[in-house]
Amino acid sequence: MPSQLDQLKQFTQVVADTGDFASMRQFAPKDATTNPSLILKAAAMPEYGYLVDQALRDAGPATPVGQVIDSLLVLFGLEILKIVPGRVSTEVDARLSFDRDGTVAKAREIIARYAAAGIPRERVLIKIASTWEGIRAAEVLEREGIRCNLTLLFSLPQAVACAEAGVRLISPFVGRILDWHKRNAGRDFAPVEDPGVRSVASIYAYYKQYGYATEVMGASFRNKGEILELAGCDLLTIAPPLLAELAASDEPITRKLSPEHAAKDAPSRRSYDEKAFRFALNEDAMATEKTAEGIRLFSADIVKLETFLEQRRRG
């Protein structure tokens, strides 16, 4: 009997949610995602010190640390693309989450770095927070053929706005939605009733029912049960410990999401201009709080990465 991981790969594209190359080789995902927190963790590991040294060496002593970070992110991405056959997601500085033009400019710089290394833009997804400004930036970039992964996504209004903007892929955060509801309800939730699972299933059904091409990639899982309840989602990005759990079990799994069943599960069709989007997000306390929190956390890790690189540069 094939492992649960191999079974899952039959109808869902499995993505590695890590900056660790060894884990990618072990679990053989098609794509890989990174974020500032993962890169910060990996950069501090001795086995990846050569990439930090290369980024500092290539940049030189007078280069602003922000550009050194861009170089480091791309160096990690280049190594990842030697392992995975598909795409790597590289994140724009979260401090640009409310700056449309700044996000567009930074994304172009990142893509130019990949292009200089011979990587076609089809193999890179630019990760951007799902703010109104981030979605508008992605709309501009998608028209230029720069594909985007809209992250820190917690609600249907964010997902709808992304689809209408022509975004290539979204990453709704299953586990963080669960965290919020557990804290506010004072209880745990079984996977089948998990609010994060239900949110992603609803977004998936909406996209399939109304013919949107935007891919849905469930992210930020807290347990294996959440993953199994979303079997059939376009993509799932999974951290190494949960990949290991899936690989260690050969219990049969059942496909839970499919385009054929979208009609009965899809919310009514809707659309959002800026005012309606901001109001809808404001009405969803969980989505408002978790989006803001995610931006703060990623921004803090960028600052930590800057400090780490400055200390490393000074020796």
pLDDT in tens, 165-183: 999 999 999 999 999 999 9
Number of domains, the chain:
1
User: Residue 289 — φ and ψ, nearest 5°?
Assistant: -65, -45
Based on the residue annotation, tell me whether 127 is a catalytic residue of this protein: yes
Write the pLDDT tens digit of every residue in 103-135. Answer: 999 999 999 999 999 999 999 999 999 999 999
Q: How distant, in Å, are the alpha carbons of 9, 69, 88, 215 from that of 81?
A: 19, 18, 7, 20
Measured between alpha carbons, how far is residue 235 from residues 11, 30, 215, 261, 289 in Å?
Answer: 9, 10, 7, 17, 25
Exactly one of 41, 82, 127, 264 is catalytic; name it.
127
Residue span of the structural domain in which 130 resides: 4-314
38-42, 81-85, 144-148, 163-167: least confident range: 38-42
* CATH number, position 203: 3.20.20.70
